[in-house]
Amino acid sequence: MPKKFEEFKLNRQILNAVEDAGFTVATPIQEKAIAPVLSGQDIFGIAETGTGKTAAYVLPILMQLKFAQGLNPRALILAPTRELAMQIAEHVQMFSKYTDLRSVVVYGGIGPKTQIEQIKAGVDIIIATPGRFLDIYLAGHINTQSLKFLVLDEADKMMDMGFIGSIHRILEIVPRRRQNLLFSATMSDLVQKIAGDFLKNPTIIEVGLQATPAQTVTQTLYEVPNFKTKINLLQYLLKNDDEVKRLIIFCKTKTVADNIFAFIIRRFGADAVRVIHANKGQNTRINSINAFKEGNIRVLVATDVASRGIDVTEVSHVINFDVPIIIEDYVHRIGRTGRAFNKGEALTFFTEAERYYVNKIEKLIRQTIPVVPLPADVFVEETPYEERQEIAKAIDIQKKKDDPDFKGAFHEKKRTFEVKKKVSKTPPWKNKRHKK
């Protein structure tokens, strides 16, 4: 039987906030993490996305901080993206609403002036992206001497985004005597390295297999020959599947995301969709995510910048329009659906050039994803010459990764042509058949 929050050593103010949020029983990660965090242990948590790990560390931190004290922060929570930092900040505010604890969220993309003013007014908890935190610290606006808790959330994403240098810099400026909590969905070499530098005799908490998608998510693959056929399949699904209540479409690039956004507007109207990627302003991204959360739009088109920053419990479907090249992102993308014990569908479109990454994803998650035939009503376009060339080149690059001696299909064609050319230039009198 799952534990009720009443069974943990949390004070009445926090329990009232938990009750207001509609939580009654703890998820597995919360059940395993809350008690050791309360006892002062360093934690290394390995948990798939959507398992409730934010509350697993926020609740015991709030319990130990208890009330506002002084001007300087006593807890620092680091997140890889501004979206995730904002999401964590919402949880902190939600669970601390019956206390006088003060929290500030800091991230890039907007000017730091307001964030600095909030910090100077007094703060107990800072939620931050590493770069902006260092910028404000180096400008002399943050005193870290009172820090008692340091949390690294989504550590694998931080490593993928190249934050390891910033993390080491932060470790140099925080007190040595502190409690450290690290959470990651996958266990890469870099995550293990930062864990070794960061944690002291940690309690290791693992919920589910590493990099395993939530069991509530049904995964499906569609093999398609080209980009236009992907668009036709997307149109078919949006038009014919009444179960697609709330959908996130993930793309590799900003250009593809904008193209899909424009296509959906043409077919279904501007009220149905928003798009978020790195070129969109901060306010635009926040407003788009909020509109999606509130159910005002049906479809959100996004690049991987948003794959871990969206916490919406009623996402019915995720579509991977492109297969992610960073294969760990697959788990985080599809983890946007099937949250809070709801059922979810994750559909992935792949071309011949993307099959390479599908194979790697299946090895990572230790599952074979079923391939479903294209519906009969989906028109299969002919692949243009330029796209055929791009696919062939991509396959060559993949083969060279696996076999450095592989010369490539284009190289082989060129070599065959040169051999034929050489043979054709051989004088007749040098050919044995002409010798009497």
For the beta carbon of residue 177, count every other beta carbon within 10 angstroms: 7
Note whether residue 407 is domain-resident.
no
Which percentage of the chain shows pLDDT scores above 70? 88
Say if residue 324's pLDDT is above 70: yes
Is residue 231 located within the same domain as residue 180?
Answer: no
Nearest C-alpha neighbor of 132 from the set 289, 328, 282: 282
Amino acid letter, residue 421? K
CATH of the domain at 106: 3.40.50.300
Q: What is the pLDDT of residue 347?
A: 95
Q: What is the pLDDT of residue 408?
A: 66
Note whether residue 422 is domain-resident.
no
Question: What is the per-residue DSSP string for 242-307?
Answer: TT--SEEEE-SSHHHHHHHHHHHHHHH-GGGEEEE-TTS-HHHHHHHHHHHHTTS-SEEEE-GGGT
Q: How much is the pTM?
A: 0.61
Distance of CA 277 to the CA centre of its chain: 13
Contact 186, 352 (CB under 8 A): no
Give CA–CA dist 427/226, Å, rounded: 47
Contact 219, 330 (CB under 8 A): no
Domain membership of residue 235 as a residue range: 217-381
Q: What is the pLDDT of residue 421?
A: 52
Q: Which helix (H) or strand (E) holds 33?
A: helix 28-38
Per-residue confidence band for 287, with pLDDT thresholds at 50, 70 and 90 = confident
What sign has the CA pseudo-torsion 90, 92, 95, 100?
negative
Digit-coded pLDDT (tens) for 331-373: 878 888 877 667 889 999 999 999 999 999 998 888 899 999 9
Is residue 225 located within the same domain as residue 252?
Answer: yes
Domain closes at, from 333, 359, 381: 381
Q: What is the pLDDT of residue 336?
A: 83
Nearest C-alpha neighbor of 135 from the set 118, 155, 116: 116
Domain closes at, from 381, 401, 417: 381
Beta strands 217-223; 344-350: pairing state: parallel
Note whether residue 435 is domain-resident.
no
Q: Give the three-class secondary structure for 364.
A: helix
Is residue 230 located within the same domain as residue 122?
Answer: no
Is residue 20 located within the same domain as residue 77?
Answer: yes
Higher pLDDT, 329 or 347: 347
Is residue 250 located within the same domain as residue 203?
Answer: no
For residue 303, the number of C-alpha atoms closer than 13 Å in the C-beta half-sphere is 17
Q: And the tokens for 215?
A: 């069991």
Distance of CA 236 to the CA centre of its chain: 27
Most confident listed range (213-217, 256-260, 407-411, 432-436): 256-260
Domain closes at, from 186, 207, 228: 207
Give CA–CA dist 374/397, Å, rounded: 28
Contact 83, 305 (CB under 8 A): yes
Nearest C-alpha neighbor of 157 from the set 261, 77, 78, 236: 78
Is residue 341 located within the same domain as residue 195?
Answer: no
Number of domains in the chain: 2
Average pLDDT over the chain, rounded to an integer:
86
Is residue 264 located within the same domain as residue 181?
Answer: no
349-362 burial by CB neighbour count: b if 16+ within 10 A, else e? Answer: bbbbbbebbbeebb
Give CA–CA dist 42/44, Å, rounded: 7
Say if residue 422's pLDDT is above 60: no
Digit-coded pLDDT (tens) for 183-219: 987 777 778 888 888 888 899 988 764 556 667 899 9
